Structure 1
Amino acid sequence: MSIASSFARPLRVSIAALLIAIMGASPSLARECGNGPGGFGAWLAGFKRQAIAAGISPRAISQGLDGVTYDPRIIHFDRNQKSFKLSFEQFYARRVGSVLVGRARARMKTHRATLDRMEQQFGVPAEIVISIWGLETNFGADTSGKYSIFRSLATLAYDCRRSPFFTGQLLDALRIIDDAHMRPEELRGGWAGEIGQTQFLPTPYVKYAVDFDGDGKKDLIHSVPDILASTANFLKGHGWQAGQSWAPGSANYAVIKDWNRAEVYQRTISVMASKLAAQR
């Protein structure tokens, strides 16, 4: 930790306490949620007070949330995730196929040195991480940054269906910019608030993202070493057993479920990784 950052936290707390006192706000968690745009503005004001109480700087809160509005498209997407209702055969054919497997093999050759270092440090096979990378964003080709992560997460945190879960994600998105790992304008990604080429949500980002290229930032958008190592670190943190099988029924297969709980997704990663391993 740098000298500058070691002094930043106490200052933030004092500013937070002052602002809470000025606004007469309770630092307790925001309790309201809604099922439409009507109460979003009041909810957001309460959430900003909650973020101050959590020790996030007023600067980061302003940068991330000023001007944010409710996005009804996000609620529609959240209620209509049809791809995970497909059979495994349908899902695999639609999302993988020979083209993606070919690209995966090429990436394994291109990034062999980084993957070897990753395997040695985290114990997670290259085939698993490469399969996740390909399945999530086609190796970065599908990360259009179409959606504002702050707008998406604020909408989902306000929505009653999974409000506590996404409230935590929104707080951690603010922490990412507060700690200067990403600029606010970079936080654009998937409709559910996913960041970067393997689609980390903010809370796993805060917990598992690593700086593997040594530039001082945890960059899951541009840095392939950071992307690969962070994904491996997530799996290791959820109990990946180095050198063991990832076939259905194994402990490692259960770890893949912690990445994505859809059975078709879990099985697809396992099958794709096995195909890559057979031809290493």
Structure 2
Amino acid sequence: MINSATIRVLATLALVLPVTLSTAAHAASCGSSGAGFGPWLANFKRQAAAQGLSQHAIGAGLDGITYDARIVRLDRNQKSFKLSFEQFYARRVGTALITRARARLKTHRATLDRVERQFGVPREIVVAIWGLETNFGADTSGKFSIIRSVATLAYDCRRSAFFTGQLMDALRIIDNAHMRPEELRGGWAGEIGQTQFLPTPYVRFAVDFDGDGRKDLIHSVPDVLASTANFLKGHGWKAGQSWEPGSTNYAVIKDWNRAGVYQRTIAIMASKLAGR
């Protein structure tokens, strides 16, 4: 028998439950402004804990993080990949870059020998990527907080699912003690280090090649070169084969960067370095 007290409890639940569900749904949704970022972040922290991330990593990475509208504006205003190949190549590759690349091939010959033996990726490809991404580390910007950038993009509706995974892996980098939160500074879209790894590729492919116990893609050239080669190997690079258009390896280059102009630029620059 349902008594009056039970009826009152059920009535209260009927009023409270829709509000609770509405709040949870709001927290789980993406947004087009910063208005819902706080509830969304609180919900994300719960998701991170459910995936086994430590409270230390969650707190160190996310406490105090706020929405950054600048990141969304930058995400909407990417113009360089709309250029023709000729325009893109002329902007990114010149005599000076080729000269510096050839110097790096000599300076890091021993490391590149090891990289080629272990991963099967030609040094010219690795060095071309290194040069194009950050001018061999010279243009590595620490302007943006990677955690804040990736959290903003995870909350933003345009690519929420993709960047939610990136944010989870940024916390894994902290949890695994490879980088401290204050070291996670880089590009506006969350790019890390001298060849601009996003957090998920970092977790999957970064290599401690200098043996110091850390996967350091900001300061360690051996780690940078080996990790870049490991990424390409992990995406199906075929050792000893061509990287010309139409080849398997040319398709792998596109896994590094989906823009066709960038893919072609890497291949042509690497061929020049190889004397082809």
Q: Tell me what 1:68 maps to.
A: 65
Deviation at 1:31, TM superposition (A): 3.3
Q: Tell me what 2:194 maps to.
A: 197
Q: Tell me what 2:271 maps to.
A: 274
State TM-score, norm by structure 2.
0.90
Q: Tell me what 1:248 maps to.
A: 245
Deviation at 1:144, TM superposition (A): 1.8
Q: How far does the alpha carbon of each residue in 1:131-176 deviate from its partner, in whole angstroms, 9 at most, with x for none?
A: 0000000000111210000000000000011101000000000000
Which residue identity does 2:170 align to in structure 1? A
Q: Tell me what 1:106 maps to.
A: 103
Which residue identity does 1:204 align to in structure 2? P
Q: Tell me what 2:41 maps to.
A: 44
Q: Tell me what 1:263 maps to.
A: 260
Calculate percent identity across the aligned residue pairs. 80
Q: Tell me what 1:91 maps to.
A: 88
Match of 1:237 among 234, 241, 245: 234
Helix, strand or coil for the counterpart of 1:278? coil
* Runs of 4+ with >4 A deviation: none
Q: Tell me what 1:54 maps to.
A: 51
Which residue identity does 2:43 align to in structure 1? G
Which residue identity does 2:111 align to in structure 1? T
* 1:34 and 2:24 aligned: no
How do 1:123-202 residues align onto structure 2 when only pairs under 5 Å count?
123-202=120-199
Deviation at 1:106, TM superposition (A): 0.4
Structure-1 separation of matches of 2:141 and 2:244: 32
Structure-1 separation of matches of 2:37 and 2:139: 30
Q: How far does the alpha carbon of each residue in 1:106-151 deviate from its partner, in whole angstroms, 9 at most, with x for none?
A: 0000000000110000000000000000000000011121000000
Which residue identity does 1:120 align to in structure 2? R
Which residue identity does 1:65 align to in structure 2? L
Which residue identity does 1:170 align to in structure 2? L
Which residue identity does 1:83 align to in structure 2? S
Structure-1 separation of matches of 2:100 and 2:74: 29
For structure 2, the 5+ residue unaligned runs are 1-19
Q: How far does the alpha carbon of each residue in 1:73-108 deviate from its partner, in whole angstroms, 9 at most, with x for none?
A: 111111111000001111011011111111000000
Deviation at 1:184, TM superposition (A): 1.0
* 1:228 and 2:225 aligned: yes
Deviation at 1:195, TM superposition (A): 0.5
Which residue identity does 1:265 align to in structure 2? Y
Helix, strand or coil for the counterpart of 1:234? helix
Max Rg structure: 2
Which residue identity does 1:165 align to in structure 2? F
Structure-2 separation of matches of 1:73 and 1:159: 12
Structure-2 separation of matches of 1:91 and 1:71: 29
